Chain A
Amino acid sequence: MQVYLPIAELSVNLFFLVGIGGAVGFLSGLFGVGGGFLLTPLLIFSGVPSSVAVASVTGQVVAASTSGALAHYRRGAIDLHLALYLVLSGVLGAVGGVAAFSLLRNAGQLDLVISLGFLILLGSVGIMMLIESTRAILRQRQGVVVRERLPNQHNWIHGLPMRVRFKKSRLYISVLPVLVIGLFIGFVGSLLGIGGGFIMVPALVYLLRVPGNVVIGTSLAQVVAMMGATTILHAVQSQSVDILLAFCLMVGGTIGAQFGASAGKYLRGEQLRGLLALLVLAVAIRFGLSLVLTPADPFSMAVMGPGGLR
C-alpha cells in the first residue's frame, strides 16, 4: 500500500516505513537507545532527502523516548534539576545546529557533514564500547569479580567554578561541564537527527559521575525535551518535517521497542553492549566508505530554496 508523503513529495510503501520503524524500534528497545542514529541513515539510503530524513526522525525520537521517560519519572529516577540545565543548554545548541543545517544545505555540504559527523561520533563511541564490553566479557570468563566503578570519585571537571548542588544525583559540581555537554548534544543532535543518548549516558557517567539509578531517566527526559524543541525549530526554519513520515516511524518504533525490551531480558548487559558496539561501528564504517570510496557518480543535483516549489 503506497502512501504519499506531502513534504518529502514521494510515495513510499506504508509497510516499508512501519517496518523499518519497527526494526529500529526493536533494536532501540533491546539496547535502550533512541535509534535515531540507525533510522536517519536508513531513510537517507532508501531515497528520502537527507534534510527531510533528519528533521522527521527528530519527531520520531521524541515518541521513542517518551514512554521510557514517563516510566522513569513514575519511579522517581529523573534528576529534574540536572535535566533542566541540560535541556536549556541543549535547546541553545539546537538553535545553532538548525542554523548550521540550513547554511550547510544551501552550500551543498550537508551530506558531507552528516557523513563525517556519523563517522566520527559512531566510530569513536563504537570503539570505546567494544573495548569496554570485551574487557568485561573476558574478565567474566576468567572468573574475576567485576566491581562497579565508584560514582562518587571526583575529578578536575568538578572543581570548575559556579558550583551547583544536584540533590537527587547527590552531586555538588560545577555547572560548566553540564552546560557544555548540553550544548554539544543539542548541536550534534539537531544536525544529525539523533537523540544523542549514546553520547549523553557515557558523558553523565564518566565525566559527571551521575549515579546509575538516575542516568537513564535523566538522559531520556533531556532527549524528549530537547528533541521536541528541535522538531519545532526544524519545522520553522527548514520546513522539512514530514508529519506523516514521522508518524509511520513512531507507530512502528513504539511497537518494535516493546518487543525489543522483552527480548533484551534474555541477554547479559555486557553482551548487549558488545552487540550494540558492533552495530554502531557498522554504521560508522558504512559512512566512512561513502566518504572514501570513489563515488559511482561524481555529479549530484539538488533543489534550492525551502522544500523547492510547491
Chain B
Amino acid sequence: MTTERLIAELARQAGPVRVLPRLDTRWLHWAIASLASLAVGLVVFGVRSDAASQLASGDFLVRALLTAVIAGVAARHALRWGVPGAEPVAWARWWPQVAVVAWTGLLLSKLWGSLATQLGAVRWHPQCGWQIAALASVPAVWMFWQSRRASPYELGWVSIQSALAAAAVGALAVQWICGLNAAAHQLVWHVLPVIAVSIAVALAGRLTLRRQ
C-alpha cells in the first residue's frame, strides 16, 4: 500500500475522537479513587487503636510520607508514559524506585548492628501482605484501565510504575491498620509485599496492555 493511499484510507475512516483528559486531571481522579479505596479499607479492616498517638510520631509520619510520595510519583510517571512526548526525562524515571530504596534504607538503618537477630524475631504476620494486595487492587485496576485508554509504547515502564503506585497505596493504608511499628516487621511484611505485589501486578498488567 502506498503512503498516499494509507493517508486517504486513514482520513476516510477517521471519526471524532474523545480526547484524553489532561495529565493533572487523570492523576487527580486516580488519587481520589485511591483515597476512596484506602478509606474503604480502613472501614473494612479497622483502624489501629493507637492511630491518634501515631500522628505525633515522626517515624510514622516519615514512613507515611514516603509511601504517599512513592504512590503519587509512580502514578504520575505511569500516566505520563501513556502519552507520546510526555514521558518522564531519563534521570527522573527511577524516582519512585529510588524512594522505595530510601524507605528500605530507613528501616535497615534502624536494624543496624542487630539485623539478623531482629529479622529472626519477626512474627508470622501475613495479613499485612494480603491487606496490601487487596487495597492495591482498586488503584491498580484504575491505573491500567487509564493506561489502556492512552497510547503507551513502553509497556514495561507503564506497568511497573502503575503497579508500584497501587502497591504503595496499599502500604499507606496498612500503616493505619497494622499496629506493629518494629522496623523488622515493617521490612518483612510491608516493604517486601509492596515489591512482590508490584512485580506480580506489573506482569499481569503488562499482559492486559499487550492485548489491547
**Bind each other:** no
Question: Which chain A residues have a beta carbon within 8 Å of chain B's beta carbons?
Answer: none
Question: Which chain B residues have a beta carbon within 8 Å of chain A's beta carbons?
Answer: none
